[in-house]
Chain A
């Protein structure tokens, strides 16, 4: 940029810094992955006495067991680092949380965009935004204190803290995400489509179910994917409310559950740097990063496609 008279010299410097600082987000993504993988990768070539790489995923016949099992038991005479139970735990909690929050999030978005009066909308929307602002440690505390007591009194599970309690608390964190994106997608549906359906005599539920939701489907799908990604990565809520025993039972939600995130948060503080336990925890972190990265990229593309499609239809 050529310098004109009367333009201070620092303007050029400031412009350079604007572009320089704008690269921070890209740098952050690269640095996050590099520096987490850096602590995990030595697992690939370092020889350790107790850890075979195959043990990370393949069930082993450990001393004292009848048949090969997949266990996560990092502390003990023979540390066992099978990461499968943690993935099963994460999947269990997130799937149940999605089963709760997807219908609630979508239905409330439909209500606000099709049934609610303007005044109701202006009150309810900020309130749900407020729900999104609750710190996860408060929700975890709430799960631990109130939801756990309620679930225990209602269902009488053997353990007070379990996958079901964690899933309810977790669903509160993702309902606002699903709601917000679904609501945006539903209100972005072109007015002529809606008005056309009404002119043909459709009732509101027919407009919502047969016109608005199909048109907004990619956005709704993106909402579910982003909600799922957030649920996988949520740490403090599951750490406080899930009970944290690594049990590999895919269908029993009344049992205690240990997720990937809770394992990292609970164990890393006690492990010396460079230990194989340390490396496995960073490996879990890398896998977590990769999973959410893929889910986010997928969701971003779907939203972009949706807006392109809706623009194409109106023209």
Chain B
């Protein structure tokens, strides 16, 4: 009851309570307005035809199937590339490196920094390293006259994205491996298992759900990024679907960007735009939601 001496303390506490609650409300309101707006304008557009047909009429009519297909193929290739590298790094950091290891500290610092590299810089990197350097070298090796590998394609875009999403996979996978109880590892060692056998039969099975969460988060991040694929393989419009890793591709996010900024008739493109935004948003939200669900279930299980 000390505070009775300071009647102002009660009212300033109330004011502070209100102000901080207001900040949360602003965030929630923004999210609500965004979702409401996109749902109101986009849901009318969604139909079987929209999801399964190609764009027509200068992209203002028809569907967005090639963009859905391109996004899916891109993220599949990206996942194939990022999974082994990300999981191996997590295994190294969590199971092999000692706490005081200099090398492990460097790896951690690199992962932290990689997470902060601007997305457009990844685009420059993909162009400079994958397309011009690697692709150029492959073209010279097979003696190609015109660039076959050394030009934008879905393969290079997927590899660029895999570098961008690498930190997401590493951090979540390592976190998942840390939750595997130490006693299980010790029991495994006690039975005569080697460190690698313990990783294979104890740590990886125990961390499976957490690793999956990391991959889902990486897919959701990779599916929405536009800046890294601007120069590495995304195309505005393609008459046919990509069938070869060296083909270019259409992409949901790039479709939104191109329609909103470069379309000669934005008003005519608006329904398609909102429909595409709704599809993209549904996709990333669904992925994130699943990841959050798995994660909260894991956390609840870990406390027991």
Contacts and interface: CB of A to CB of B under 8 A. Distances in A.
Give the most central of A38, A226, A265: most B CB within 10 Å: A265
A116 B24 CA distance: 10
B41 to A, nearest CB: 9
A19 B120 contact: no
Given A11-B194, A296-B112, A19 B13 contact: no
A90 B98 CA distance: 42
Contacts of B85: 21, 24
A250 interface: no
Contacts of A208: 16
A141 B120 contact: no
A136 B224 contact: yes
B48 interface: no
B43 to A, nearest CB: 15
Give the most central of A105, A135, A206: most B CB within 10 Å: A135
Contacts of A83: none
Given A137-B226, A203-B10, A107 B114 contact: no
A160 to B, nearest CB: 12
Interface in B187-236: 194-197, 220-221, 223-227, 230-231
A44 interface: no
Contacts of A236: 119, 226-227, 253, 257
Contacts of A124: 24, 28
Majority SS of interface residues in chain A?
helix
Interface in A217-247: 226, 229-230, 232-236, 239-240
B13 A24 contact: no
Interface in A99-129: 103-108, 110-112, 114-116, 124, 126-129
B20 interface: yes
A22 B92 contact: yes
A43 interface: no
Given A261-B118, A289-B121, A25 B17 contact: no
Top 7 A-B pairs, shortest CB-CB distance: A233-B118, A135-B224, A22-B92, A201-B2, A111-B20, A107-B23, A205-B16
21 contacts: A11-B194, A21-B89, A28-B110, A28-B166, A108-B27, A115-B21, A130-B288, A133-B221, A133-B284, A135-B223, A203-B3, A204-B16, A204-B17, A206-B13, A232-B118, A236-B119, A236-B257, A239-B261, A265-B227, A282-B124, A292-B121
